[in-house]
Structure 1
C-alpha cells in the first residue's frame, strides 16, 4: 500500500476534498475502489473512529459526475488516480448520514426525525445535477422515501445516469434503541411497513431497476441489516472478506510508516522510535 506523505497530520478530518486540498498526510486506500465495483449493495462494518466517513467521502468525490473537472486535483498521486475505472465521475450522488438522527421515545417521533434528516440529501442531489433535472419539482416533500422514489423515477424516465447512494452509520439510531433497552420500539422500526423498511425497499427497487448503481452502507453492527430481512435482503456484508479486511484502519506497515513520518517531522530524528 503506497503512503502519500503530506505536510500536516490530520485529526478528525472526514472530508476527502479537504484532506487533499489542505495537503494532509493521507494513507492511500483507493486501490479498494475497483474491488467495490463488483457489488451493488455492499455493507462495511467497523467501530467508530476507523475512517468510515472518510471512505464514504472518498467514494462520493470519485463517482460524482459534477466533480469530473477536479479528478486530477483530488486523485492525482493516488492508486486510483493512476488506475481509474471507467465508472469514475459517472453518477449522481446521494449521501445520507444516519449518525445525525435525533432520537425520540415513540414511533411517530422517530419517523418525523428520520424524514427531517433524510429529505435534504435528495434535494441536494437534484440541485447539484440541475443541468439534468431542470425545473423538476417534488410532490411529496417531507417524506424521505417518497422523495427518493420520485427522484429515481424521474431520472430513470429521462435516461439520466444512475444514482450512487452512500449511507454512513446506517445503524446509529437503531443501535441506540438497543443499548437503551427499548426493544419494542426497535422491533417496530425494523419490521412490518416501518419508515426504515420502506426506505430500504425503495433502494432495493432502485437497484433492481437500474436507477441506483450502488448503495454503500457503513455501520457498526450487522443486527439491523439482518432484522430488515426481506426489506433489504440484497445486502452484501464485506467486513470479513479477505479482499476488504484492511480497507479501513492501518496495517502494521502503514502505521509504521506513519509513526516514522510523525517523529521525523516533529523531532527530526527516528532514533526514539527505533
Structure 2
C-alpha cells in the first residue's frame, strides 16, 4: 500500500500557523529572530522558493500582540519558544505582499494598482487592533501611503505599541519592469517623488520617530533598494552577512536530518540513504 506523505511533509506552505497547527515537519530557523532584533530596516534576498514567505509569516506570528495567547501553541518546541525575547507579541503587524501587484504599462496604472493592493494590510492591522484604535477612521481609502501615515500618526499621538512592517517580495513588480525592458517606467517608479519612493520615505520617517519598530523586507535582487537611494537609505542588506547566511534554505545537516526523517517515517528504514 502506498503511504501518502502529504499529511506531514509540507509543500508550498507559507503560513506559519497553518504549518504548526497541521503538524507539518518544520526546520527550526527561529534562532535567527534574536539576531534580527539588532536591525530596524533589514533586507534579506534569496531566489524564489527559498522560504521567504514562511519567514515573513513566522515573524508576523511571533511579534503580533493579538496572538500572545497562542505563543506556546505556535512556538512550543522551537528555539525561540524556549528562548523568547522581551519583544515577542509586542507589536502591531502590517504585512505587505508586493508579489500580488498587478502590472500596468504606465505610471498612473501602477500607482492605482499599488494603492488597491496595499490599502488592505493597513485596514487589517487596524481591525485586529481595534481595542487600541477605538473609533479611529481613515480620512481616505484611496491612497495606501496616506493610510499608513494616518495610522502611524495616530499611534504616536496615543502612545500605542510600535508597528512592525513586513514586506514580502519588495522588488517583484520592479523586477518585472526590468525584465520586460521597460527601463523608462522603472526609472519613474524608483526616482523623484514616485509613489514607491514616497511609500518608503514614510516608513523611514516612522522608524526614525519610533512609531515603526522594524521594516523587514524580502526580495530577490538589491537593484531596486539601491535605486531608491535617499528615499530609503537606512536599508541594511543582510543577505551575505555571516550571521544570516543560513537563515533560509537547508544546510547540509538540516537536509540530512530531513531526509532521514522522511525515510524513517515512510519506509521504516534508512538503509538506502546510508
Give the secondary-structure state (helix, strand or coil) at the position aligned to 1:214. strand
RMSD of aligned alpha carbons: 3.4
Q: Bigger CA drift: 134-143 or 235-244?
A: 134-143
Give the secondary-structure state (helix, strand or coil) at the position aligned to 2:165. strand
Cα shift at 1:273: 1.0
The change in CA–CA distance for 1:32 and 1:26 in structure 2 (over 3 A counts) is same
Query: Is 2:3–2:266's contact at 8 Å kept on the other side of the alignment?
Result: no
The change in CA–CA distance for 1:3 and 1:256 in structure 2 (over 3 A counts) is farther
Q: Which runs of 5 or more structure 1 residues have no equivalent in the other structure?
A: none
Query: Is 1:7–1:25's contact at 8 Å kept on the other side of the alignment?
Result: no
Cα shift at 1:7: 6.8
Q: Bigger CA drift: 255-264 or 223-232?
A: 255-264
Following TM superposition, the consecutive aligned residue runs of length 4 or more in structure 1 with deviations greater than 3 angstroms are 1-7
Instruction: Show the 5 A alignment for 1:4-15.
Output: 8-15=8-15
Cα shift at 1:5: 13
Cα shift at 1:242: 0.1
How many pairs align? 274
Query: Is 1:40–1:213's contact at 8 Å kept on the other side of the alignment?
Result: yes
Query: Is 2:91–2:164's contact at 8 Å kept on the other side of the alignment?
Result: yes
Cα shift at 1:241: 0.1
Q: Could you say which residue in structure 2 is the equivalent of 1:260?
A: 260
Cα shift at 1:257: 0.6
Deviation per CA, 1:155-203: give whole Å up to 9, x if none. 1100000000000000000000000000000000000000000000000
Query: In 2, Cα distance between the equivalents of 1:14 and 1:214?
Result: 21
Query: Is 1:2–1:27's contact at 8 Å kept on the other side of the alignment?
Result: no
- With the length of structure 1 as denominator, give the TM-score of the two structures: 0.97
The change in CA–CA distance for 1:233 and 1:86 in structure 2 (over 3 A counts) is same
The change in CA–CA distance for 1:106 and 1:6 in structure 2 (over 3 A counts) is closer
Query: In 2, Cα distance between the equivalents of 1:134 and 1:125?
Result: 13
Query: In 1, Cα distance between the equivalents of 2:262 and 2:6?
Result: 10
Query: Is 1:3–1:28's contact at 8 Å kept on the other side of the alignment?
Result: no
Cα shift at 1:140: 2.2
The change in CA–CA distance for 1:6 and 1:102 in structure 2 (over 3 A counts) is closer
Query: In 1, Cα distance between the equivalents of 2:76 and 2:271?
Result: 33
Cα shift at 1:266: 1.7
- With the length of structure 2 as denominator, give the TM-score of the two structures: 0.97
